[in-house]
């Protein structure tokens, strides 16, 4: 049981690092893909490019690319949320095991 406690406590910083990296990746996708695509669409809609090609570009980016990148961002967010939930479960398990071990030690070494 002690080895499991050590493992859970060692795993926690690793899990926190994974969560941090996931959040960074989501920001990168948003900053380098999602926001620039939206800005391009706004620029074209604003009149910098006109005609059938401009309309096709806006339609393609608005209906395919932006939603696709949005889905990637949502998947990253959902995965991050799932990992955070798993970390909370690990913390609860660690706490429960610690309480169990403590109560067993107290019972074992209780002096009457």
Contacts of residues 33-40 at CB distance under 8 Å and 24 or more positions apart, as own/partner, are 33/69, 34/66, 34/69, 34/70, 34/73, 37/61, 37/65, 37/66, 37/69, 38/66
Q: pLDDT-based confidence at 3, cuts 50/70/90?
A: low
- The confidence score (pLDDT) of residue 111 equals 60
Q: pLDDT-based confidence at 112, cuts 50/70/90?
A: low
Q: Give pLDDT tens digits for 70-100.
A: 999 999 999 999 999 999 998 888 888 878 8
Q: Give pLDDT tens digits for 16-65.
A: 999 999 999 999 999 999 999 999 999 999 999 999 999 999 999 999 99
Q: pLDDT-based confidence at 9, cuts 50/70/90?
A: confident
Q: Alpha-carbon distance 98 to 104, whole Å?
A: 10
Alpha helices, DSSP H only, in the chain? 2-29, 35-43, 52-60, 66-108
- The confidence score (pLDDT) of residue 102 equals 78
């Amino acid at each position: 049981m002690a080895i499991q406690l050590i493992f859970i406590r060692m795993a926690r910083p690793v899990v926190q690092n994974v969560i941090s990296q996931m959040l960074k990746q989501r920001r990168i996708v948003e900053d380098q893909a999602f926001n620039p695509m939206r800005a391009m669409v706004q620029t074209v809609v604003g009149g910098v490019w006109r005609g059938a090609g401009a309309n096709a570009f806006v339609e393609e980016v608005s209906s395919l690319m932006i939603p696709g990148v949005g889905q990637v961002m949502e998947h990253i967010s959902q995965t991050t949320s799932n990992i955070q939930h798993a970390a909370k479960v690990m913390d609860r398990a660690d706490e429960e095991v610690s309480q169990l071990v403590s109560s067993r030690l107290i019972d074992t070494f209780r002096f009457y």
